Amino acid sequence: MALLVVGFFGMFFLRALYLQGILGYKPLEVGLAFLPASFVMGTLSLGFAERLIMGFGPRPALIGGLVSAGAGLHLFARAPVDGTYVMDILPVMVLLGVGAGLAFPALMTLAMSGATESDSGLSSGLVNTTVQVGGAVGLAVLATLATGRTDGLRAHGESTASALNSGYHLAFLIGVGLVAIAIVVALAVLRSEASATADENADAGGQTRAEPAYSEAV
């Protein structure tokens, strides 16, 4: 969750700066530009994400969401100074909307699936705290690195728009790297339902076979 939200917090903050500072969008236009991502996330939250998670399991849904989010961040890291909305912004919004709409519910499902009734509040609080702390710290780091790159390029004679855009590109490439790490963590740490079921059946079988041996010994 912490690795994922860095990219999303950076997307909302730095993309707004890109739209206003480089493409010249007005504040209202920036808000309208973000509508496709909100629309996709809202559509998935109406039940489509739940059906996918219940049908395929939270682990595949999470990995699919992470891949979509990483692809969106990578596309935005290639946005030019003279970018257009249809070619350079809209595809990113759709991909990130799909990524958030799948990854966040899947992560919450995974976080709460192993919690007991008495620990459910604690688990939920930890997840939400991770979102806020991870996003805040990550955004601060991304903004600092982007500013440093921009200042360095401007000092070497680069135009302001080009230097700003290069700084944003660096921040989003770092976001892509963090999402890639999140995918590796998900693949390495989270077990598929089939594997978990097999392990449970093996444990149950071992206990069943051990009981007769114990009875005979007695």
| pLDDT tens track for 166-175 | 999 999 999 9
Query: Could you tell me the two tokens for 20?
Result: 């206003």
Residue 73 pLDDT > 80: yes
Higher pLDDT: 52 or 25? It is: 25
Alpha-carbon distance 99 to 61, whole Å? Answer: 9
Among 15, 27, 1, which residue's Cα sits nearest to residue 172?
A: 15
The total of other beta-carbon atoms located within 10 Å of residue 60's CB is: 18
| Whether the model pTM is above 0.75 | yes
Alpha-carbon distance 148 to 157, whole Å? Answer: 15
Q: Are 15 and 95 in contact (CB under 8 A)?
A: no
Residue 49 pLDDT > 50: yes
Q: What is the pLDDT of residue 113?
A: 79
Q: What is the pLDDT of residue 205?
A: 53
Q: What is the DSSP letter of 84?
A: -
Which CATH entry fits the domain spanning 2-190: 1.20.1250.20, 1.10.3720.10, 1.10.1740.10, 3.20.20.80? Answer: 1.20.1250.20
133, 134, 166 from 137: Cα distances, Å = 6, 5, 21
As a whole number of Å, the CA-based R_g of the chain is: 22
Task: Give the DSSP per-residue string, 142-159.
Answer: HHHHHHHHHHHHHHTT--
- Measured in residues, the chain has a length of 218
The domain spans of the chain are: 2-190
10, 57, 70, 162, 185 from 99: Cα distances, Å = 15, 16, 8, 28, 17
The total of other beta-carbon atoms located within 10 Å of residue 216's CB is: 7
Q: What is the pLDDT of residue 197?
A: 46
Higher pLDDT: 152 or 125? It is: 152
32, 69, 78, 135, 144 from 138: Cα distances, Å = 25, 16, 21, 5, 10
Q: What is the pLDDT of residue 53?
A: 86
How confident is the model over 86-123, as pLDDT tens digits? 999 999 999 999 999 999 889 888 888 777 778 888 88
What value does the mean pLDDT of the chain take?
84
How confident is the model over 131-166, as pLDDT tens digits? 888 888 888 999 999 999 999 999 999 999 999 999
